[in-house]
Amino acid sequence: MRLSNRILTMIDDGDDGWAIYHETKRRQAAGEQITVLTIGEHDRRTAPEILKAMHDSAMGGNTGYADIPGSPSLRATIAERVEARTGVKTTAANIMVTPGGQAALYAAHTAALDPGDRALYIDPYYATYPGTIRGTGGVDVPVRARAENDFQPARADLEAAATGAKSLLINSPNNPTGVIYSRETLAMIGEVATKHDLWLISDEVYDTQVWEGEHLSPRQLPGLADRTMVIGSMSKSHAMTGSRIGWIVAPEEVIPHLLFLSTNTTYGVPGFIQDAAEFALNQGQGLEDAIAEPFRRRRLLAQEVLKGANAVRMVPPSGAMYVMLDIRATGLSGEDFAFALLDAEKISVMPGESFGTAAAGHVRVALTVDDDRLTDALVRLAAFAAGLVP
Ligand code: PLP
């Protein structure tokens, strides 16, 4: 039986960009000791008190079909948090709870696109973006943010792609670069979106990991809230990656349509997970800061370790849990470098090419092992790179 083109073309040539991750897993299973700096997942598990709230909720009977858009109290809690962080009036009617930010990205594009519509996203990008867009029937159009511009997108590049497009997906703080878009960049993005009548889909799942400057949501800029859907998640902010809970913040009239989509796809998020998320959000800023703190510290550590390196340049990261290293001085592609590093030093990092063409010649290092291991890995990575310089 033939499968649909839609599903057959979700990823390029069957390459999902995670070859090094799969190879690392294979080698680990064969007994190799590898320092894994690939995946964006904390080196701590979900806090016991959050798990207790989940347990109590389930034991209390909250195991049936749950409220599909999210429980009224969770939606109200999310809305309050969004309003407190942005100053933009937000109510439960603007919130749809989803099984993680990933499902929210899919839902937002489903809401924005008809089959064949062009959907813009910024390259380098989080690896699922093209597949998400193609999965909803859209045509994915990457727009380069250039290394020489510290990966802030430029108006000319956006304008060149925007005519006839329906949506623009942005991600700040950014995975993989760690870059936070400046107010000027966001204002420019807003102008382009308005001029070309684009939906702006703003992936803000790293909004609690801000090390320098300020995080701004496009909803905060004049005139943009009505065309913006914000993607939120508990994965990064509360170390709840496995719980699969996130949300969309959207204009009120969009939410009933997202509810239909959920009814016909996921049927919502389990009630005991929703209760745990509400409990976690009610712990306030302290818990979020504690979860973000190791990445703040390790970013400084990485800066310190790599400051004298001659073959590796660190893209200054303002947020998120990664650092991006420019290794073009070695003459290798990011992919060749990553595999050579894995062979020689048993350190696994992501090639920049996994995140599009704009980050070619770079590797992304996730700051997700303890400080001593990270220091050791970066010292060896820098020495390895230096040994490659022609
Ligand atoms: N958006 C970005 C930029 C990410 O890096 C991730 C996960 O790594 C996600 C969305 C999806 O996160 P989740 O579905 O766990 O909320």
Q: Which residue has the tokens 């990092």?
A: 349
- Residue 315 Cα to ligand 1 middle (Å): 21
Q: Are 172 and 180 in contact (CB under 8 A)?
A: yes
| Residue whose structure tokens are 């995140």 | 355
40 lines ligand 1 (CB under 6 A): yes
Q: State the distance from the centre of ligand 1 to the C-alpha of 238, rounded, in angstroms.
A: 13
Atom of ligand 1 nearest to the CA of 175: 3
Residue nearest atom 12 of ligand 1, based on CA coordinates: 101
With the most atoms of ligand 1 within 8 angstroms of its CB, the residue from 105, 180, 233, 244 to mutate is 233
Cis before 115? omega within 30: no
CA angle 377, 175, 19 (to 5 degrees): 65
Q: Is the CB of 136 under 6 A from ligand 1?
A: no
- Give distance in angstroms: CA of 2 to centre of ligand 1: 31
Other CB atoms within 10 Å distance of the CB of residue 340? 15
Residue 14 pLDDT? 61
The Cα–Cα gap between 287 and 279 comes to: 11
Q: Among 97, 98, 102, which is best to mutate for testing ligand 1, by the most ligand atoms less than 8 A from CB?
A: 102
* Mean pLDDT computed over every residue of the chain: 96
pLDDT at site 140 = 97
Look at residues 165, 171, 155 and name the one whose alpha carbon lies nearest to residue 119. Answer: 165
What distance in angstroms lies between residue 341's CA and the mean position of ligand 1's atoms? 26
Q: Provide the pLDDT for residue 259.
A: 97
3-state helix, strand, coil in the chain (%, to 5): 45, 15, 35
Q: Render pLDDT for 106-133 as a digit per residue (tens, 0 to 9).
A: 999 999 999 999 999 999 999 999 999 9
* Distance in Å, CA 203 to ligand 1 centroid: 8
| CA atoms within a 13 Å half-sphere pointing along the CA-CB vector of 367 | 28
pLDDT at residue 13, as a whole number: 67
Q: Where are the alpha helices (DSSP H) in the chain?
A: 5-8, 19-29, 48-59, 72-86, 100-112, 129-135, 155-162, 183-195, 255-263, 271-282, 285-306, 334-345, 371-388
| CB contact at 8 A, 234 and 245 | yes
Distance from C-alpha of 45 to C-alpha of 43, rounded to nearest angstrom: 7
DSSP per residue, 54-117: HHHHHHTTTTSPPPTT--HHHHHHHHHHHHHHH-----GGGEEEESHHHHHHHHHHHHH--TT-
Please state whether the predicted TM-score (pTM) of the whole model is above 0.75.
yes
pLDDT digits (tens, 9 = 90+) for 344-359: 999 999 999 999 999 9
**Per residue of the chain (390 residues), what is the pLDDT tens digit?**
999 999 998 887 666 778 999 999 999 999 999 999 998 889 999 999 999 999 999 999 999 999 999 999 999 999 999 999 999 999 999 999 999 999 999 999 999 999 999 999 999 999 999 999 999 999 999 999 998 998 999 999 999 999 999 999 999 999 999 999 999 999 999 999 999 999 999 999 999 999 999 999 999 999 999 999 999 999 999 999 999 999 999 999 999 999 999 999 999 999 999 999 999 999 999 999 999 999 999 999 999 999 999 999 998 889 999 999 999 999 999 999 999 999 999 999 999 999 999 999 999 999 999 999 999 999 999 999 999 998
